[in-house]
Structure 1
Amino acid sequence: MKKKLITAALATSLLLSFGAGSAFAATTMDGAIDKVIGVDYKYGGTTTSGFDCSGFTSYIFNKLGLDLSRTSGSQFEEGTKVSKDELRAGDLVFFNTSGKGVSHVGIYVGDGKFAHSATNKGVTIDKLSMNYYEDRYLGARRVMSDTQFEKHAK
């Protein structure tokens, strides 16, 4: 009996730890992002062989049947401006990492986190509140309509 309880407790804690580590529920967008977590960063990359930041966002939105421009700067011109306190899953978040304006983009996934292709980690999820990103945050754009949001990200 004691062995069964220990086994059940271990199994439950493993399941909970895997679920707690993921920023994802079961949306189409989450599934598309989850499949590429860990893919290496590659400058100019647009495939699962390697992504740069805008290659990653373009790839994910293409998987959802939505077209985005290729560069972070041009993606910053798409959709509608969204304030940080109104972010919802699927919004694009932009940063000035080069000191020269828009130079990095990611996809807000909820709970204060965003998915992106980082030069040092590849495709990963980070918190917007991390000092590095907080200090370089430029803004967000909503590129999904309410219907697309309901279908892919809610």
Structure 2
Amino acid sequence: MNAQKNVPSLLGRAGTVSALTIAALGGTMLVPGGTPEAQAAATAHAGKALKVAAAKKGAPYRYGAAGPSRFDCSGLTVYSFKKAGKKLPRTAQQQYNKTRKISMKSRKAGDLVFFHGRGGVYHVGIYAGKGKIWHSPKRGSWVKLDKIWSRSVSYGRVR
């Protein structure tokens, strides 16, 4: 029996379908108010931005720099998303304010990871999956892939 052929009839008979049912049938869920086209575009931009950041591996950190050969943390995210066709504000805090907040369970590769301290957001990187980010951490360092080291983080999706 081909399960995919039966999906439309199952959904038709079920009426309102839960997220678990959709996931079990191999479907996708949309963010409320989001169109399939908008979600596909956001995913494509995020994936491209992630690849751009990874391609900058080894580029030295420089405070206030936004590429193409030196970066600070928010400069790397600005540069990466610009190359992917999306405009971000310049600082980590401004980027936090501009993105759509998502849960840790909802995070995907290409989402932004914001690090929080007493004064607000102090660092940003691009989520690479498996608890790691691409970022430009500090003076004397360079763009690299690192494990997320803090629990004081939140996640944002570029619209």
Q: Pick the TM interval, shorter chain.
A: 0.5 to 0.7
Q: Distance in 2 between matches of 1:75 and 1:127?
A: 21
Over residues 100-144 of structure 1, what are the superposed CA-to-partner deviations in whole Å (9 max), with x where a residue is unaligned? 21010001011211111011421111112xxxx324x33111114
Establish whether residue 73 from structure 1 lines up as the match of residue 93 from structure 2: yes
- For residues 3-152 of structure 1, what are the structure 2 equivalents within 5 Å? 28-96=48-116, 99-119=118-138, 120-128=140-148, 133-135=149-151, 137-144=152-159
Task: State the structure with more CA Rg.
Answer: 2
The TM-score, its normalising length taken from structure 1, stands at 0.67
> How many percent of aligned residue pairs carry the same amino acid?
40
Q: Distance in 2 between matches of 1:123 and 1:46?
A: 12
> Which amino acid in the other structure matches residue 78 of structure 1?
K
Q: Distance in 1 between matches of 2:114 and 2:99?
A: 13
The TM-score, its normalising length taken from structure 2, stands at 0.65
Equivalenced residue count is: 112
Q: Distance in 1 between matches of 2:95 and 2:89?
A: 6
- RMSD of aligned C-alpha atoms? 1.6
> Which amino acid in the other structure matches residue 134 of structure 1?
S
Q: Distance in 1 between matches of 2:91 and 2:101?
A: 17
Q: Distance in 1 between matches of 2:144 and 2:103?
A: 23
Q: Distance in 2 between matches of 1:29 and 1:43?
A: 21
> Which amino acid in the other structure matches residue 139 of structure 1?
S
User: Which runs of 5 or more residues in structure 2 are unaligned?
Assistant: 1-46
Q: After TM superposition, which residue ranges in structure 1, 4 or more long, deviate above 2 angstroms?
A: 27-31
> Which amino acid in the other structure matches residue 60 of structure 1?
S
User: Which runs of 5 or more residues in structure 1 are unaligned?
Assistant: 1-26, 145-154
